[in-house]
Structure 1
Amino acid sequence: MGTRMSAAERREMTITAAMAEFARGGYEGTSTASIAERVGVSQPYLFRLFPTKRALFLAAAERCFEEIEDAMREAAGGLYGRDAMAAMAEIYRRILREDPTLLQFQLQIYAAAVQDEEIARLGHRRWAGLWCAVRDLSGEDAAEVTRFMSIGLLVNVLTAFGVPHTSGPDLPCSLEKWAYGVDGGDPGEGT
């Protein structure tokens, strides 16, 4: 006879399932029925764990940011300065390669935030926390942290569009080659 899961364990499974479902369909296009089915629970049980679809989306969005911040903290470890930044950048690139759901869900959070004040407030708070974590972990100044975060967003877009690129200081050169179709790259429209 199998062991019965606690409500806390079901809650964790539900957040994970919600991240995957919302990543695919966005807030508006995802049904709570599809999330309940993925978890293997009834919809009424799902609503005992999370009273509304919005509450579940917000919990999943919190988890998305937590996972990114936790990965940054782990990657930086005992490193500091440029070494910490390089380690955090590498772990983020690895996450994007190995877990496309995280990128897809981030993009859905940003899209939902445009029209939803509560989601925008969550994003505002969590982005501030992520920015501060990168600064605290690396000890770099505001300009360098801003550059780091900006490149992270650029890498999100490049990954979403399947744009070939290198990492680190060679990124601008690889994008220029791609944009102009040099070295067999796929030239951008209208160039």
Structure 2
Amino acid sequence: MGISHPNLFRLFSTKKELFLAVLVRLFETIDREMVRRGSNAGADPVPVMVDAWGVLMEDRALMLMMLQGYAACDDRDVRDLVARSTQDIFENVELMPGVGADRAHAFVAEGMRYMVSAAMDLPRLAA
């Protein structure tokens, strides 16, 4: 299902509004597919979240959009949205049973590293 260019601009009056809406949807997807699954995983949520993050990384467009969000943080509205969303993810991971601050830092840092690798398509290039 597509949307026509005129209808797109009826919904979003500027490209920035569209970009922010896409970023909101992206972080909602990460929350739904990774964080919520981890929070329902029981005693050790990290393996569940690692698997979910791996599935998300297979969507290269999602990874590229996420990187674009971080790259566009010169804009205050983008920076506020990305910072708040990233902080929410970190805090939700940190509060899960058996995770804590150190493990949450390691998980998020490794996730970011793998996101950059996926965006660069390194797994394909290494094969």
Q: TM-score, normalised by structure 2?
A: 0.85
Q: Which residue of 2 aligns with 1:101?
A: 61
Residue 4 of structure 2 aligns to which amino acid in structure 1? V
Q: Deviations over 1:94-121 (max 9, x none)?
A: 1112x111101111111111x2111011
% identical aligned pairs: 30
When the two chains are superposed, the root-mean-square deviation of aligned CA atoms in Å is 2.1
Over 3 Å counting, the alpha-carbon distance change for 1:111 and 1:75 in structure 2 is: same
Matched residue count: 125
1:76 Cα shift? 1.9
Larger Cα Rg: Structure 1 or Structure 2? 1
Q: Which residue of 1 aligns with 2:4?
A: 41
Q: Deviations over 1:28-77 (max 9, x none)?
A: xxxxxxxxxxx33242x322211211111101101101100111244325
The 8 Å contact of residues 76 and 88 in structure 1, kept in 2 or not, is answered as yes
Quote the Cα distance in structure 2 between the aligned partners of 1:72 and 1:103.
14
Q: Which residue of 1 aligns with 2:31?
A: 69
The 8 Å contact of residues 79 and 138 in structure 1, kept in 2 or not, is answered as no
* Structure 2 unaligned blocks of 5 or more: none
The 8 Å contact of residues 20 and 78 in structure 2, kept in 1 or not, is answered as yes
Q: TM-score, normalised by structure 1?
A: 0.59
Quote the Cα distance in structure 1 between the aligned partners of 2:38 and 2:90.
14
1:79 Cα shift? 2.0
* Structure 1 unaligned blocks of 5 or more: 1-12, 14-38, 165-184, 187-191
1:92 Cα shift? 0.5
Higher relative CO (Cα under 8 Å, sequence separation at least 6) belongs to: 2
